[in-house]
Chains A and B, each alone.
Chain A
């Protein structure tokens, strides 16, 4: 390698540092809530004059971002759409009424809930299956 390449590499390091600072600015604008580590790293990089140290900090930041991104993509992975046919996950709905898992007495003996959901009804039960019957008075 020619000696003249070393300053070029240092410049590359500076460019990388500026790129990290740029990411920090983007995070300041709320573009990525998971980039808090980037913000911290950017602050550290600014305080350190040594380019090699900056490169190391940038690499560490990148690694951290990679982990965050993987976590985010897992969290954001789309669930299968709900539906109303066999094989679908029944769509959840907000409901009101009486949540009671007893086999005797009257359902109305418990407090009327105005902010229930089917998922909540399911979560507060223990049997393996649930039978949902749609009814009407008329």
Chain B
């Protein structure tokens, strides 16, 4: 997805949400975010659940690779796809 960023930088803000840690049973920690950012060279927002609510994002938003395109101002869901590639195809079609 990082490689697609220049293409969409003016159109959309990108947010990575780590919904799990090193295993599906472990919540993501700051160290996981740091590794993710470093190894994938992610320049944009990367977040995870707060410590008090592990797996809250997974419960509320879905499993790994689920990708949303939102109207940023209203947070209304315009697209929901099983992965980023499919969602970005839909983003291309949006005005």
Interface of A toward B, CB cutoff 8 Å: 82-108, 112, 114-116, 118-119, 121-122, 125-138
Query: How far is the CB of B55 from the nearest CB of chain A, in Å?
Result: 11
The 4 closest A-B pairs by CB, nearest first: A97-B47, A125-B13, A129-B12, A136-B20
Chain B residues closer than 8 Å to A134, beta-carbon distance = 17, 19, 57-58, 61-67
Given contacts A98-B37, A135-B16, A138-B24, 15 further A-B pairs with CB under 8 A are: A84-B62, A87-B77, A88-B76, A90-B61, A97-B33, A103-B6, A107-B44, A107-B46, A114-B50, A122-B72, A127-B11, A128-B11, A131-B8, A131-B91, A132-B15
Could you pull out 6 A-B pairs where Cβ atoms are within 8 angstroms?
Answer: A84-B80, A90-B70, A100-B43, A122-B13, A132-B68, A135-B16
Interface of B toward A, CB cutoff 8 Å: 1, 5-6, 8-24, 28, 30, 32-38, 41-53, 56-58, 60-80, 84, 87-88, 91, 94
- Which chain B residue shows the least CB distance to A138? B23
Chain B residues closer than 8 Å to A119, beta-carbon distance = 75
Could you tell me the distance between the alpha carbons of A95 and B53 in the complex, rounded to whole angstroms? 9
